[in-house]
Structure 1
């Protein structure tokens, strides 16, 4: 304190500290900001200049002695701290305040406390741990060394090892990258290997062996040599297999039959069609494309103009497919024909009225068909398949008109329903893309690439100017047709993958089959918001792509079920009316269904049984 007075700072306590005589001492220059010795700057610590430290005893009262003692302790403490700034070991018992000081310099009062300013935030339960880095190649080499040889370098002290010390001594602590055979040994190995042979010779002397050429002594090279000794160590990805003595003979393997190696032609390009009906033309020369008018129902009226009811009884069964049904589609507007596809790679056209017979089979895919879609006129339809092809068929005569492929599996195919773009269709692929093809030129004209997983559904909305897509990435995206940038992206944490979709006839909503056993509803207008008041539950869809459909008048919604039911709900209230056991005695899942566009209560279902059932 006396030192402070000597600098010209007067004490605020006039009674406790006697003033020195100003006549005895010359005038002292006042230093408002004393100079700081930068040589003793340390992270978080400042060393005081000597002028601040009292060096001889003063006649000050007791509390000044405490200040002097504390200052001396701080000075000694700082000198210990600064003794060896590069040392990572503490030479004194550090206080908590010292260990949580800022990284450099004093605390900035204008910054919040945190790393680099004051107390550090704990990133481990016991305190603060510094991050360290190790390259991926170094880690991989050490990991493989530990897997193969049982030892590795200590990450904190690279000159030490952990693990099998006997192998450390034997191999000199080298890792698997450093342990390589010499060029002489590699050349010796190659000399002992059989010749690859001539690729034009199939069997006999000089036959082509390629990468299957053996060594003269296979067992000798099942393991690789290490160092200069005769020790053999298995590679990290090898297993020691004791060779069967019966395989060690020199008898050549019998040649494979020519049928086993014969290349078959691509059957996916050999499309065929077969007519099964009783007569292909009627007495006026019309095919089954003609909408019948000798019925008690008018099939030419506007769709949705009659009130719908829930069906209750089975009226017909169609059997022809040999594997599970994958899609069911009524003929647009009239519904007098039914298109079905199955995992047997075939699509079939059925007669819904009169004899209710199988009319035509379309064969052209060598793997299961994933989806089908009628052209708005019904004259053509699309099929997508796991053979990675999309094919355009003539509905009337069964001819394949076009083939389209991107090399990936199409999960969903949809024609553009508008008259202006009805020659174009969209396909949702397994490689996250939605592709747009022109059926006239056969070319890919647009690509929508924003999803992060396979695309599941495509639904046209807003007078076909926009469309909504969903994907396995648990998101929903809305697009302007022809513009490959989404105008809306919805991905909430509680969302599940939406696997199937169907639009409401009023054009305001789209219903989606969700992966958590419910049907959710989203708006089809500008906002595309979820309608949380509409949720349809009570069925099970887990593990299947279960189809659903809204009745033409918009009153009911029907969905399949993995237990073999067809479930019906009221659209307004969300209440389930009842279930129909549509999956047979075995209870096979009902995966496909469609609501007849003209009848009051006709629904068709199909599933894993491979049987199509017609309900009224």
Structure 2
């Protein structure tokens, strides 16, 4: 309604006064205390409880206040793009054959554990964590544990062993009683019904079970001494033996082969190693053909002088060779292991050495007499063994085991002094650094860890995505660097400083080592780095520049072990899968 309020007096000075305005009519509006409610059928009330768009202010149903303030719950509608309720005709693209599945964050290990639990026990944990799905009775029986958490009792293990079929006789190829080994199967396996299993009485089953357990256990232990931490050290008599191959055990002055010779022309074996300038060897000057009946696994030189060579092979034997006298004869054979030798290590004086084997035992030998003094085991396979080079602790040694542990043994007491248990895979190398106060270890878990000797907590962990497993190591004569044989066909170098960082600028390539544990060594003066090769080559690099100096063929099989003679300028000894040892100069 428009009202005439008149005009401005300045503009309409001469005009007549306007008539008085009529009074405004009074407007009354009803007060509504509740929103408008549409009266609809009961079915439509449930179909449209809340408005579809935010622009509408009317409710189709008078909801209580608690319902109005409840947040939106549940997953997004997969058939509505971007969660827009107005577009109900466009379907989301399928990512499975049966429809759409939302991504969930779950580790591969957890998923595999629950899948194995479902296949084995019939139940599994619900993905949303709400409880157990599947066989509830089995879940109550096993207390809801998955296959990783569940540990069967001794009675259940015995019942499982009784269901195992006989492995057979290894001497029979076909027919009744043929050797089946790990493929023998189980008594209730339908796929193995054609295999004839002899009916056994209860007593026969017990005897067969005892025989199987005896086959799986280590050899009998006549005399044993318990250590303080649950492991055992054994002292054996009559089980190990040795054979001396020399003409005379003593010379005319009463000296044995342990005496360092002083009559070698042009060479002083009693001086400090590394004083001479080294060169690359050119030809093979001696070969011990068929030194071992099977491949050679490890070569170790006598400390400081290098006049004796210790070799271990897959034929379970350890042999001691003379490197300087006429004919370079075999001096002694050490026998006592039942499987291939994995590692050897002299003590500082060379009077004793330790050997490890796949038979799970570590043995301490007298180098001169060949007597086995002690034997140690934890029930696992030792991969690498190292004496502590510290003169005060040279009676202790470290063993890197297949169960991810590093065990510290004491040869005097036969007990275990410490356990270093942080690796996630079998231990491959142990290298003492920093004046023997620390040591570096590598493992199949593709990591490097540094330790303070005697303290079971690593001080440094290096595990990068680009790293490969490092299977062999060699300390530079300066003590400042350690070279590692990496599984990606290269040799990497780490410093022995506090950070133990990798020297990215120093990497040695040009050889193949993937699939083998190939030794490497540094010349006594630190000028050259040497490594074997899976193709039978021996490679030489310049330490400073990383350039390959030379590469010559050593044999047809892989060269897996080698060593520089500590007092020579250009002599290197090599061994490999052919079972022969070669001396190069």
The TM-score normalised by the length of structure 1 is: 0.64
Structure 1 CA distance for aligned equivalents of residues 258 and 323 of structure 2 = 12
Deviations 1:356-379 (A, max 9, x none): 000000101010010000101111
Structure 1 CA distance for aligned equivalents of residues 447 and 113 of structure 2 = 36
The question of 1:464 aligning with 2:447 is answered: no
Contact persistence 2:37–2:59 (CA under 8 A) = no
SS in structure 1 at match of 2:513: coil
Aligned to 1:271: 240
Aligned to 1:533: 505
Structure 2 CA distance for aligned equivalents of residues 540 and 303 of structure 1 = 30
Contact persistence 2:37–2:61 (CA under 8 A) = no
Structure 1 CA distance for aligned equivalents of residues 438 and 496 of structure 2 = 9
Pairwise CA distance, 1:593: 0.4
Pairwise CA distance, 1:505: 0.3
Contact persistence 2:35–2:58 (CA under 8 A) = no
Deviations 1:153-181 (A, max 9, x none): xx9xxxxxxxxxxxxxxxxxx99999xxx
* Structure 2 residue corresponding to 1:239, chosen from 163, 180, 190: 190
Aligned to 2:568: 599
Structure 2 CA distance for aligned equivalents of residues 401 and 457 of structure 1 = 25
SS in structure 2 at match of 1:73: coil
C-alpha distance 132-552 of structure 1, shift in aligned 2 (>3 A): closer
Structure 2 CA distance for aligned equivalents of residues 515 and 528 of structure 1 = 19
Aligned to 1:217: none
C-alpha distance 537-402 of structure 1, shift in aligned 2 (>3 A): same
* Structure 1 residue corresponding to 2:282, chosen from 287, 312, 315: 312
SS in structure 2 at match of 1:425: strand
Contact persistence 2:428–2:471 (CA under 8 A) = yes
Structure 2 CA distance for aligned equivalents of residues 53 and 452 of structure 1 = 70
C-alpha distance 478-78 of structure 1, shift in aligned 2 (>3 A): farther
Contact persistence 1:141–1:175 (CA under 8 A) = no
Pairwise CA distance, 1:527: 1.3
Aligned to 1:612: 581
Aligned to 1:343: 314
C-alpha distance 314-72 of structure 1, shift in aligned 2 (>3 A): closer
Structure 1 CA distance for aligned equivalents of residues 398 and 443 of structure 2 = 15
Pairwise CA distance, 1:402: 1.3
Contact persistence 2:400–2:429 (CA under 8 A) = yes
Structure 1 CA distance for aligned equivalents of residues 75 and 272 of structure 2 = 88
**Comparing 574-583 and 360-369, the one that deviates more:** 574-583
Deviations 1:340-387 (A, max 9, x none): 111111111100011200000010101001000010111111100001
Aligned to 2:271: 301
C-alpha distance 239-282 of structure 1, shift in aligned 2 (>3 A): same
* Structure 1 residue corresponding to 2:387, chosen from 404, 407, 415: 415
Q: How does 1:384-533 map to 2 (within 5 A)?
A: 384-533=356-505
Aligned to 1:73: 56
Aligned to 2:348: 376
C-alpha distance 595-211 of structure 1, shift in aligned 2 (>3 A): closer
Q: How does 1:204-219 map to 2 (within 5 A)?
A: none
Pairwise CA distance, 1:129: 3.4
Structure 1 CA distance for aligned equivalents of residues 505 and 360 of structure 2 = 40
Contact persistence 1:123–1:129 (CA under 8 A) = no
C-alpha distance 478-357 of structure 1, shift in aligned 2 (>3 A): same
Aligned to 1:322: 293
Structure 1 CA distance for aligned equivalents of residues 422 and 200 of structure 2 = 58
Contact persistence 2:36–2:59 (CA under 8 A) = no
Pairwise CA distance, 1:577: 1.1
Pairwise CA distance, 1:464: 0.4
Q: How does 1:22-421 map to 2 (within 5 A)?
A: 73-76=56-59, 129=102, 238-239=189-190, 266=219, 269=236, 270-296=239-265, 297-319=267-289, 320-355=291-326, 356-421=328-393
Deviations 1:391-437 (A, max 9, x none): 11111111111111111110000001111111110000000000101
SS in structure 2 at match of 1:274: strand
Structure 1 CA distance for aligned equivalents of residues 455 and 436 of structure 2 = 13
State the superposition RMSD in angstroms.
4.7
Where do 5+ consecutive residues of structure 1 fail to align?
A: 1-19, 29-48, 56-68, 101-121, 147-154, 156-173, 179-209, 214-234
Pairwise CA distance, 1:605: 0.2
C-alpha distance 445-315 of structure 1, shift in aligned 2 (>3 A): same
Pairwise CA distance, 1:266: 3.5
Structure 1 CA distance for aligned equivalents of residues 522 and 351 of structure 2 = 24
Contact persistence 2:449–2:458 (CA under 8 A) = yes
Structure 2 CA distance for aligned equivalents of residues 251 and 302 of structure 1 = 69
Aligned to 2:9: none
Structure 2 CA distance for aligned equivalents of residues 543 and 298 of structure 1 = 39
SS in structure 1 at match of 2:190: coil
Deviations 1:429-452 (A, max 9, x none): 000000101111010011100000
SS in structure 1 at match of 2:456: coil
SS in structure 2 at match of 1:420: helix
SS in structure 1 at match of 2:58: helix
Structure 2 CA distance for aligned equivalents of residues 239 and 497 of structure 1 = 42
Pairwise CA distance, 1:546: 0.2
Aligned to 1:16: none
Aligned to 2:13: none
C-alpha distance 175-276 of structure 1, shift in aligned 2 (>3 A): same
